[in-house]
Amino acid sequence: MAFGNHDLYGKNDMDFEGVLERARAALGQRRSGEVLALSRTLVAAAPERVEGWLLQALALILDGQAGIVYRRVLPLRRRRFDDDGIVFLKDVFLILDRLKAYDAMLAAATDAPAGELFAIVPGYFAACVLLARRRFDEGFALLGAVRSRCLASLDRLPTTDDDGFMVLFRHALLVNDPGYLGQPYYRDNLALNRAQLGPLHWADAPEPEAPESSAPESSAPESGTAAERSVVMVSCDRRYADLFLPRFFESVDRLCRGRLVHLHLLDPEPEPGPGAAAVALPPLRHNRLALSWERSGALKCAAWYASARFVRMAGLLRHYRRPVVLFDVDVALCHPVELVEQAMADADFGCFRMDRLDPGSVYQASVTAFRPNPAGLELAELLGDLILSKMSLKRPLLWLIDQASLYSAVTILADLSGRLRVADLTRRLGMTVDQYVAFCQRNEDKLRLMKLASGLL
C-alpha cells in the first residue's frame, strides 16, 4: 500500500521508526496523552506523512472523543489507496462513528507488529470508505488483503451481530449497482462457481399439474384457484432433517392440507432412490411429498447449505409453473400458507421485512414466496447468480449470504429498475416473521452456526 512506502515522503532526520515503536507501545497500554504528544511530534516534523495524523485520530478515540475526530483531522492530506481512487481519511472516522467499530480498529492497531501498524490501519480505513461508497467487492478484497498479513489480532476479533468488523464483512457481500453485473470480477466468479455446481437429482419428480379437486379440505380459507396454490418448499441436510423436519411437517399437515411439499436434500446418505424409498422421512398424512437432492462438492460449507435452495429456485419454478413458498427447515408454521398467497396476490415476490441497519438482515430468508412469472423468474435467477458469485470468496463471514444477496437482487430489480413487485408481508399481514412461524433454534445455536460458516470453529 502507498502508506507503507516511506520513500514517497522524502528524507527526514527524525527517527520515525523509533517514534512509531513508542506510539505502538502507548497504544497498547491505552495511554492517550502520550499517543497525542507523539502524533504532534510527527506532524510537526513531516506533515505530509500520514502516520502522525493517524496517531492523532487514534489518540482522540482512546480519549473518548471519537465524535470529534473528523473535525480534528480536517487538515489530513489526500492520499491514494493503490488504484482505488482518492479518499479523505476524515470520511473514515464518520463511518467508524456510525458503525461503532473503534474497538475492532484499535485491536488491530495495538496488537500489530510495529512495522505493520501503519500499513494495517490505513488499509482498514480505506476498506471502510470503499464499503460505505458501495464499492463492496473492492472493499472486501482490501479487507482480505489486510487480514492476509497474518495478524492474529484480526482473526481474534469477535463475530457477534454488534461488532463493527462483522458488519463490514456483511456489507461486503452486498451488490446494489446494476453495472456491477457486467464487471469481470462478477462474471469470472460466477462462471467459476457455476462449474462447481453439481446436477439436481430427483427422487420423485411429479408432473407440474394442479392438485386434485378432491383434496381434503384445509382448515384455513382457500385463495385463488387450485392451480394457483403454492408448492411448500424446504431445504436441508440429513442432520437438519432429523432435527427439524418432524415439527415442520406436522405444522404443514395441520395448517395447509392438500399441498405438494417439496423437500430438497443436500448431501444425503444414502442417496435417495426412485420414490425416495431409501430415505426415512417423517410422514405427511394430508400432503404429498416430492424430493430432490444434490451433492455440494467444492461448494460445501454451512453457508452453502443455507443458500443452495435459492440457487435452485428458478429451476423449480419452471418445473412446477406455480408459486413456491420457501421456508427455513427450523421453523413451524403458526398460520396457514394461504395468508402469504393472499398477501402477494398482486406481487411477484413476497417476504417479511425488518427495520434493520444491516442491509443483509432487512429481507428475512426464513419465509419467501416466488411467483413463476417473468419478474419472479428474473429475481430467482439473479438471486442464485449473486449467491454463486460470492461462493468463491474464502469462507470468512459468508453467513447471511442468502439475505445479503436477496437484498441486492430486490434493490436492483425493484428499487432501481421497477421491474419487480414486492409484497412486504410484515406490513400486509400485520405480523412479524416470528409471529407467522415459530423458530426452533436457540440464539446460541445460531451464533455457533455463524462461526462455523465463518471458518472460526
- Residue-wise pLDDT for 362-388, tens only, equals 899 999 999 999 999 999 999 999 999
Q: Which segments of the chain have a pLDDT < 70?
A: 1-13, 48, 50, 66-105, 107-126, 128-141, 143-174, 176, 185, 204-227, 273-279, 357-358, 393-399, 441-457
**Helix segments in 160-237, DSSP class H:** 164-172, 184-196
Q: Do residues 231 and 153 share a domain?
A: no
Q: 216-236: buried (b, 16+ CB within 10 Å) or exposed (e) per residue?
A: eebeeeebeeeeebbbbbbbb
Q: Do residues 40 and 138 share a domain?
A: yes
- Residue 239: the pLDDT is 86
Q: Do residues 153 and 242 share a domain?
A: no
Measured between alpha carbons, how far is 173 from 175 in angstroms, rounded to an integer?
7
- Residue 436: the pLDDT is 97
Taking alpha carbons only, the member of 372, 373, 369 closest to residue 423 is 369
Q: Give the CA-trace dihedral at 167, 396, 439, 268, to 10 degrees.
A: 160
Q: Do residues 24 and 158 share a domain?
A: yes
Q: CA angle, 170 as apex, 191 and 439 as ends, to 5°? A: 105
- Residue 447: the pLDDT is 55
Domain range spanning residue 110? 2-172
Q: Do residues 168 and 183 share a domain?
A: no
pTM: 0.66
- Residue 67: the pLDDT is 62
Q: Do the strands 363-370 and 324-327 form a parallel or antiparallel pair, or are they unpaired?
A: antiparallel
- Residue 1: the pLDDT is 34
Q: Do residues 123 and 149 share a domain?
A: yes
Q: Do residues 355 and 428 share a domain?
A: yes
**CATH, residue 194:** 3.90.550
- Among 143, 172, 201, the domain-final residue is 172
Q: Do residues 269 and 411 share a domain?
A: yes
Cell of 42: 510527527
Contacts with 310 (C-beta within 8 Å, 6 or more apart), sequence order: 326, 365, 380, 383, 384, 387, 402, 405, 406
Measured between alpha carbons, how far is 309 from 25 in angstroms, rounded to an integer?
50
Q: Do the strands 79-80 and 86-87 form a parallel or antiparallel pair, or are they unpaired?
A: antiparallel
- Residue 165: the pLDDT is 47
- Residue-wise pLDDT for 5-49, tens only, equals 333 334 456 788 888 888 878 887 888 899 889 988 888 887 767
- Residue 10: the pLDDT is 40
Q: Do residues 389 and 444 share a domain?
A: yes
The whole-angstrom distance between residue 396's C-alpha and the CA centroid of its chain comes to 11
- Residue 88: the pLDDT is 47
How many independent structural domains does the chain possess? 2
Cross-strand partners of 318: none
Q: Do residues 191 and 162 share a domain?
A: no
Q: Do residues 185 and 247 share a domain?
A: yes
Peptide bond into 270 cis (omega under 30): yes
Q: Do residues 132 and 200 share a domain?
A: no
- Among 172, 201, 225, the domain-final residue is 172
